[in-house]
Structure 1
Amino acid sequence: MATSVAKCFLLSRCSGIIRSVTLQGKLPPVCIRNRNLLSQCPSFSYGNRASDNPQDGHVNIPVDRLTVSYSRSSGPGGQHVNKVSTKAEVRFHVYTADWIPEDVRQKIILYNKNRINKAGELLVTSEQSRSQQRNMGDCIQKISDIIAKATEKPHEPSAEDIALRASRLEKRNKERLKQKKLHSAVKQTRRVYFD
């Protein structure tokens, strides 16, 4: 049941409503229950360009690699919360996710140690909404954000930044030495000489 709902959710994205999850936008809650689309869209994509090159910031997320489950959500909601399983839980095995480049996988493992269980699965949950589809969309968005954060390249400092950092360090050292001399002078004045 959970897998079919997840496939429906992801298929609705590929059927023309939304082609991909962009890194900036949130997903609207839609689900088309048309099983004929399964052969047309076997994966879910994220990124800001529609190419399969990992260097372009676009990677396909295969539906069959995601394990989706639903459970009872906590919090207010009355009888609805007690009857309907709306909390979405999406997981995938990070170490064998060949659809993510190796260096990005290593960064995901490094940045998300608390989200990876002993089996090596990255676990993402959402219970923000009272709808399974919205929570599923939120989980996919979280996975997309995790991968996007891991693909970011570190900022290279410019020559101006390096010079500014060096001048600040020099200024800090001068101030430290000045304070040290003042403290030494105070201690010298406390000294009593017996002649």
Structure 2
Amino acid sequence: MATWSSSRWFLYRLVRSRPLSHSSRALTLGHRHHDNQNNDNSQVSYSRSSGAGGQHVNKVNTKAEVRFHLQTADWIPLEARNNISDQSRTRINKAGELLVTSEVSRSQRRNLDDCLQKISSIISRASERPGQTSPENLALWDIRTDKRNKERLKQKKLYSAVKQSRRVDVD
């Protein structure tokens, strides 16, 4: 597995490919420059893609696999890192690396860009804070919950009555 250190822009592109501060609910990452950070928390490797494609698939390593160590990425807020760990726990291995793969294209570069886009969207999704629920929505929620409970109890009584009618008294 080769470490991808040919470009110092890896983390910069990762963060800047889609800005996180579009929404007022997004966590702010600060104004640090990420292009001068080292690439010790990421590794990129290439392997053969699966599926149809004939000779090309069997000869060329186009599948991109990016391993991104989440806990060493100190430029991501702790809350967002915890959210990523919760939301993407099937993609995180025992070493704490976020594993993202792509084989949508026949090009290594496009697959790598797709992996970076996936990581960026994972970070963006984890950085969003839930909005405030309005009092009207809370009232509607309570009404609907009460209605569901009443319907559930009604069905339960109906089922109980059916069972009672099938019971045979042995006196």
User: TM-score range with shorter-chain normalisation?
Assistant: 0.7 to 0.9
Corresponding residue for 2:7? 7
Corresponding residue for 2:141? 165
Please say if 1:21 is aligned against 2:22. Answer: no
Residues 1-195 of structure 1 aligned to structure 2 (within 5 Å): 3=4, 7=7, 10=10, 20-22=16-18, 46-47=19-20, 55=28, 60=34, 64=39, 65-179=41-155, 187=164
1:89-143 alpha-carbon deviations (Å, 9 max, x no partner)? 1112112211111111111111111111111111111111010110000000000
With structure 2 as the length reference, what TM-score do the two structures score? 0.73
Q: 1:71 to 1:164 in 2, by over 3 A?
A: same
> How far does residue 3 in structure 1 lie from its aligned partner after superposition?
2.3
> How far does residue 82 in structure 1 lie from its aligned partner after superposition?
1.9
Q: 1:137 to 1:54 in 2, by over 3 A?
A: same
> How far does residue 81 in structure 1 lie from its aligned partner after superposition?
1.6
Look up the equivalent residue of 1:71 and give its one-letter code: S
Q: 1:164 to 1:90 in 2, by over 3 A?
A: same
Q: Unpaired segments of 5 or more residues in structure 1?
A: 23-45
SS of the counterpart of 1:90?
strand
Distance in structure 1 (CA, Å) of the matches to 2:160 and 2:38: 69
CA contact (8 A) 1:87 1:132 kept: yes
Distance in structure 1 (CA, Å) of the matches to 2:74 and 2:9: 23
Count of residue correspondences: 161
> How far does residue 156 in structure 1 lie from its aligned partner after superposition?
2.3
With structure 1 as the length reference, what TM-score do the two structures score? 0.65
CA contact (8 A) 1:47 1:57 kept: no
Look up the equivalent residue of 2:7 and give its one-letter code: K
- Structure number with higher relative contact order (C-alpha < 8 Å, ≥ 6 residues apart): 2
Distance in structure 1 (CA, Å) of the matches to 2:161 and 2:53: 69
Q: 1:84 to 1:160 in 2, by over 3 A?
A: same
Q: 1:98 to 1:149 in 2, by over 3 A?
A: same
